[in-house]
């Protein structure tokens, strides 16, 4: 016991010696930068609880002095006054986001696995084409996507908001980098044990790439939940519009709706923040190890 205690004491002393002045300065600077980057998020939260007199105060006050829930009450009253209830918009956003995220994860992960490990004839060239697609900006593809959606008769349907967002080149490329780090020997040993392609993917590849899948889920959720462009282009029926496009019109009602607009921005951003906080460890793991060959 004494030897173990001595070893622990020596280990603590050694760890304390490794704390240098440069490391303290580095962590202080990084902490300050993290706090500075969090300021817009903090301001978004406190603004949602500001009364009207503090919203238009000059010079503006960063923190709220007299917090109130009146902004959320005004928001609910504004939404309930519409011909379409608020729950309908919430249902549309939830349905489109969940189906799009699920489709993106299944399609991109399976395609990346097949292209990287199975390597059938012609599919390697396809993976290169997908990689080249990363060079094109999203607005450049909007006109061809609209023509395809229109010719397929998907205007004013949920499919127009889901199908164009399932196959995303960035998700394919990200997952392919993770799959490439898995040793081929592990896959060969699984095949010897009788694993087929689907069983190999579900039981071996997916558990080893949970960090990449979590990152795809976060990126896809943020992109679909906050998308107000696609419903504006593909949807004309008011009952099929999503939450972001409705909430974006609330703040345009002048001074009377300024508080409701602040509450709307807060409610729209809250799900994305919650999802990132729940998966931040895996997202950071993806950022640290993506592109590093094993």
Indicate the average pLDDT of the chain: 78
Domain span holding position 186: 75-289
What pLDDT, on a 0 to 100 scale, did the predictor assign at position 261? 73
Residue 130 is assigned to a structural domain of this protein: yes
Q: What pLDDT, in 10s, does the model give residues 265-277?
A: 787 788 888 887 7
Residue 46 is assigned to a structural domain of this protein: no
Number of domains, the chain: 2
Same domain, 124 and 22: no
Residue 134 is assigned to a structural domain of this protein: yes
Same domain, 114 and 248: yes
Tokens of 122: 């012609």
Same domain, 144 and 199: yes
What pLDDT, on a 0 to 100 scale, did the predictor assign at position 293? 42
Distances (CA, A) of 95 to 1, 74, 171, 227: 60, 26, 21, 13
Q: What pLDDT, in 10s, does the model give residues 133-157?
A: 777 777 778 888 889 888 988 888 8
What pLDDT, on a 0 to 100 scale, did the predictor assign at position 14? 47
Averaged pLDDT for residues 222-238: 86
pLDDT at 34 over 90: no
Confidence of residue 38 (pLDDT cuts 50, 70, 90): confident
Residue 62 is assigned to a structural domain of this protein: no
pLDDT at 251 over 80: no
> How far is residue 179 CA from its own chain's centroid?
21
Residue 173 is assigned to a structural domain of this protein: yes
pLDDT at 241 over 60: yes
CATH number at residue 255: 1.10.3720.10
For 69, phi then psi, to 5°, come to -100, 10
Residue 61 is assigned to a structural domain of this protein: no
Helix extents (H) in the chain: 2-17, 21-48, 52-55, 70-80, 86-113, 123-132, 142-151, 159-162, 169-179, 184-192, 197-200, 206-208, 210-225, 229-234, 243-247, 258-289
Confidence of residue 291 (pLDDT cuts 50, 70, 90): very low
Q: How far is the C-alpha of 74 from the C-alpha of 47, rounded, in Å?
A: 14
Percent of the chain with pLDDT over 90: 5
Q: What pLDDT, in 10s, does the model give residues 93-126?
A: 899 999 999 999 999 899 888 888 887 777 767 7
What pLDDT, on a 0 to 100 scale, did the predictor assign at position 101? 93
Same domain, 120 and 257: yes
């Amino acid at each position: 016991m004494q030897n173990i205690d001595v070893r622990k004491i020596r280990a603590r002393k050694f760890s304390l010696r490794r704390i240098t002045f440069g490391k303290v300065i580095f962590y202080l600077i990084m902490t300050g930068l993290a706090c500075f980057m969090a300021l817009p998020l903090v301001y978004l939260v406190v603004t949602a609880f500001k009364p009207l007199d503090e919203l238009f105060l000059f010079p503006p006050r960063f923190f709220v002095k007299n917090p109130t829930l009146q902004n959320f009450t005004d928001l609910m009253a504004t939404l309930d006054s519409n011909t379409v209830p608020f729950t309908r918009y919430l249902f549309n956003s939830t349905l489109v986001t969940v189906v799009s995220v699920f489709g993106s994860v299944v399609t991109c992960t399976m395609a990346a696995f097949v292209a990287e490990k199975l390597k059938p004839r012609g599919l390697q060239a396809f993976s290169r084409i997908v990689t080249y697609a990363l060079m094109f900006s999203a607005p450049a593809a909007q006109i061809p996507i609209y023509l395809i959606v229109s010719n397929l008769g998907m205007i004013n349907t949920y499919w127009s908001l889901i199908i164009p967002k399932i196959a995303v080149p960035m998700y394919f490329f990200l997952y392919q980098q993770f799959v490439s780090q898995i040793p081929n020997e592990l896959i060969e040993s699984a095949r010897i044990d009788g694993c087929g392609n689907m069983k190999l993917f579900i039981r071996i590849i997916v558990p080893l790439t949970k960090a990449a899948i979590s990152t795809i889920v976060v990126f896809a959720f943020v992109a679909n939940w906050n998308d107000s462009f696609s419903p504006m282009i593909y949807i004309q029926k008011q009952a099929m519009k999503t939450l972001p496009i409705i909430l974006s019109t609330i703040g345009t009602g002048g001074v009377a709706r300024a508080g409701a607009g602040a509450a709307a921005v807060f409610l729209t951003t809250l799900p994305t923040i919650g999802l990132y906080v729940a998966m931040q460890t895996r997202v950071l793991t993806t950022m640290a190890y993506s592109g590093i060959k094993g």
